[in-house]
Structure 1
Amino acid sequence: MKKHKKTLIILGSTIGTVAVIWGLLTIFVFHFPKVKNNAGAKDLKENKWYRIDVNDGKSSDGSEWYGYIKRGSENKLMIYFQGGGVSVNEYTAANKFYNKKMWGNDWFMNLNTNIGIGNTNKNNPFKDWTVVVVPYTTGDFHVGTGEYAYHDDGNDHILYHNGYNNYQSLMNKVSSMFEAPEEILVTGFSAGGFGTSLLANDVLTNYYNDVPNKTVLVDSSLLLYDGWKNTAENVWKAPSQISERLVSDNITLDSLLALSKDHPDAKILFDCSVRDGELAKYQNYLDTDNWVATKESGEIFQNNLKNMVDGIKNQIPNSAVYIWDGIEYDEQGMNLTHHTIINLPNAYKDDFGNDETIAEWAMDAVNGQLHNYGENLLN
């Protein structure tokens, strides 16, 4: 009995210590000050991150949602869509194949801003840009406006696909705070890359149509599915101007083709690892209902990626691709590669055997120089 008591005391003390440390980190590290009501751009300190609240912001479970912003020293703007899964039906809704809520008291935001292309590292060519981050907690590639009813564990639930409403509220607030930028980059990784392809047209048409220099970068966003249009219309309730562009099983290419037609001056960039393990896993689910990545699913993904690259090069004149390898996926010996890059320091540190890093490649595109890399990996 005494031994058990001692164990419980030690366990309780450990939990208490962890709780105190987490509380201190939450207050002093994993926390951003809020943008005050009616604040203007000059009220924000340069290179300091802020939380920006919006009217009616809502996550998938009905809890709060908000955005983030950092004012840079240059009049250049990055709109940065975050990723985190997707829901396309009742099964994925019930099993939470997506970020459910804003969590960790800004911890996830710290993780991304402190190491990806949105940070202020001296080697990051975008370090002096203003960055607006659109968090992702709605399972709808940022384009939903509806409520999806599903049944799980004997109970009825609602998944709030509120991504488009969140994005629009944030953009309305940000665009009123800052003057029109000289250059704009719309980008995102994973689900945020899908969101980038789907919403870049909206960003450039409704908010920054007169910006003379426009670039769009989609990172690690390729899934083939015959049900995309139905999902966008009937599950997410996406605006019709978004869903009507979806005419094939390739939601990303459909959206980028429409973007290219509406904004032929926009440079369109696409990057992905050659056998993306996470996308291979999700593709396997869409194809076979099995939520697992295998060597075979990686090979299928590589073939899909080759066709994607061919589609971009043949149909989008003002475009460039960067295919990469060298970071293993989960080290399971299945020859799969890592998922996403712009949210990692590798984006500005690793050239993957090419002439430049992905961040340098993107900056070259901003400056009007388009280069293709890594196509040989697809053969």
Structure 2
Amino acid sequence: MINYRYFLQLRDVYSFSFNIDLFVFFNKNSKQIICLDKRLKNSWSYKFSNNAVVRVYNDKIYIADNYDEENILLDLEGKKIENLSESAISIDFHSSNLENRVKIFYGDSSLALYDLTTQKVIWTTSFKVNVDGILNPEMIFCVLKGGNKTIISLDINTGSLLWQFSVSELGKYTWSDGVKTHREEGKVERIIGVFGEVLVCVITGGGERVRGNTQLIGLDTSTGNLLWQIEQFIGTPNRQLPATATLMPDAQNKNLVGFQSGDFIEIDPQVGKVLRYSQINLVYEQHTLTGLMDSFSLQGDHLYFRSSVSSMGGFPTAIGAFNYKTETIEWLYVFEEFAKEGKFIPINQPKAEGNRVYALDSGNTLHIFEREY
């Protein structure tokens, strides 16, 4: 079992990021980037004019101006390394697993690869792509803008095109306006990741192939050939695959796990096989979890989720930890103080790191929990 205690509250938090040794956030009131040490004691601050998104990456801190006027790199002591405003409108750290190599995007969304160590652009392309994508030691996988219909693979060293795969036919779907039925070409919803030699993506279609349904596909990373497709759930006609929006690699990066709206699913990404599916008991002590429930944070055997509870309306006002090995909810914290104050402030996705869980509410208050042993 796992349990956490309410540890600390920080107000006026616009964004935050952390690693095992430090915690960085942007205070929207003081217009400062503030760094705390691993005990959450003040370490240093850096003045910044506009609301900013902060991200700790290896030995650097990336600061992105929300108005796209300034993008800078700081070292871990809070000293400016470089102003990136002239080279890139944004940097994608989410999908980077190559040390100090990250994707950057120019003002027209064209893609380039940037080396944080040398502080130089390695190569540029004319491809206009979406921010999400995946890097691995040999290639980059992205989705082209202009309909989100095509997945491309680029050589990591040169940026040259290796292959492309269109989902316009494979992911087709229909929708009705009450008068007639419309057919739409397929779209890529997101790229989940690379598992061995398989690239796994969520695309539209599946089930009855109506709008809102999604399916999973696996592509050969070397050729772009379709290896497998899950278009409906476990052979049940016209039922969409559950929890695809929350699918993520497990702690061993072996299987995909997802937890959403009480559905838990585990999938073998090598062959596209559903290994486990369960509908979870959503009663925890005196609380019944309802409505919105999703999880995008994993640590060890636990998926950390947010949820609404029946006693507090439809907004997500609770966070918890779900053990996907035992398929049980082991910890839940309900923000009952919101109800006592006569207001319901939706809580955003919790993030777990080390022995702490962080959850930012829509009122810009960050709630920090510490594990009890």
More strand by share: 2
Give TM-score, length-normalised by structure 1: 0.29
More helix by share: 1
